[in-house]
Amino acid sequence: MSVTSTTTLESQLTTTWGPNNSYPDVPLVMSGYTSRLWTRDNQPQFWSKYQVWEWLQQVMDLNQIDASSIPFQNFDMDGNQLCSLSYQDFLRAAGCAGPLLFHSITDLKWSGQYHVDLGQLELKPELDFSCPFPDVSYPPGEIYDPLTHPLAPVASPTPSSPDIKRSFSRQVKKQNPSGNHLWEFIRDILLNPERNPGLIKWEDRTEGVFRFLKSEAVAQLWGKKKNNSSMTYEKLSRAMRYYYKREILERVDGRRLVYKFGRNARGWRESDK
DNA sequence: TTTCGGTTTCCTGCTT
DNA sequence: TAAGCAGGAAACCGAA
């Protein structure tokens, strides 16, 4: 695995949403997960353990580093504990990824702006992620507790075994408020009105009713996200109709291009924010 | 390697 | 007549 120093968060985000957008009238839409996680209101000091894991996973993903190469058990802590770690602590806890994580959390801590800073998250030239990750994990059943002793093993249930790591990964995925599903993609467009001038619009915000304004443009955007240049609204709408059965969407009879979120759709209500 | 969920593709018929 | 909707069927693909 090797990541060049020119790899930036911006370039990664724009892989799907970037300026090479073939639809000039389609705005750039950052993934809901990214924009949601890195909000100004969400200071790392107050993160829960799950949010720490989300951040960890996100930084790894954004820098194309295999998250499984990080000993997650060393980060079994809440945001307050995370923020108390030193540079050396990060180095020991995460090996080669330590500096990257340290830079990221330092930026988030001190900038006072908990949004993605494309410049700050850029990989530093001195960071070589091609190096094999040292085994910085602790024996099974032991974790790093920064409060008692920096990097001292502490007995606790940990994600040290492959199975637990897998379940952790699932947990992180489950907690991830955004995702790669079509309905989530649609929802995220709706939730970013400033970036969505005229693609899809709410018909009834409280009821979850929305209408496609540029159906083919949305389909193209979805196709771009899925790396499928032959996506059309006809195909997209077929996928949408499959959501009726799962009650992610409800039918809106007699109205073209109009859909409604169902009981199994999450995160679209204003109270969900 | 298998299973499964989530699409994707193609199709026919119906409605607006 | 075109565009959109509905839904069946099969294929595809990535994740578990």
Note the strand C nucleotides within 7 A of protein beta carbons.
4-9, 16
Residue A159 clears pLDDT 90, i.e. is over it? no
Question: Stretch A166-177: mean pLDDT, rounded?
Answer: 38
A69-85 confidence digits (pLDDT tens): 566 667 767 777 778 78
Domain presence at residue A224: yes
A94-123 confidence digits (pLDDT tens): 777 777 777 777 767 665 443 333 233 333
Q: What is the pLDDT of residue A258?
A: 92
Cα–Cα dist A204/A186, whole Å = 15
Residue A160 clears pLDDT 50, i.e. is over it? no
Residue A50 clears pLDDT 80, i.e. is over it? no
Q: How many residues does chain A have?
A: 273
A261 by DSSP, 3-state: which?
Answer: strand
Q: What is the pLDDT of residue A197?
A: 66
Query: Which has the closest alpha carbon to A239: A262, A222, A264?
Result: A222
Q: Which of A152, A175, A198 is the last residue of a domain?
A: A175
Whether any strand C atom is under 7 angstroms from the Cβ of A28: the reply reads no
Whether any strand B atom is under 7 angstroms from the Cβ of A241: the reply reads no
Q: Which of A129, A152, A175 is the last residue of a domain?
A: A175
Point out the residue nearest to C13 (C-alpha to C1').
A226
Residues A167 and A33 in one domain: yes
Q: What backbone torsions phi and psi does residue A209 show, to the nearest 5 degrees? A: -90, 130
Domain presence at residue A4: no
Point out the residue nearest to C6 (C-alpha to C1').
A241
Q: How confident is the model at residue A233 (pLDDT cuts 50, 70, 90)?
A: very high
Whether any strand B atom is under 7 angstroms from the Cβ of A254: the reply reads yes
Q: Which of A119, A153, A175 is the last residue of a domain?
A: A175
Whether any strand C atom is under 7 angstroms from the Cβ of A168: the reply reads no
Domain of residue A204 covers 182-272
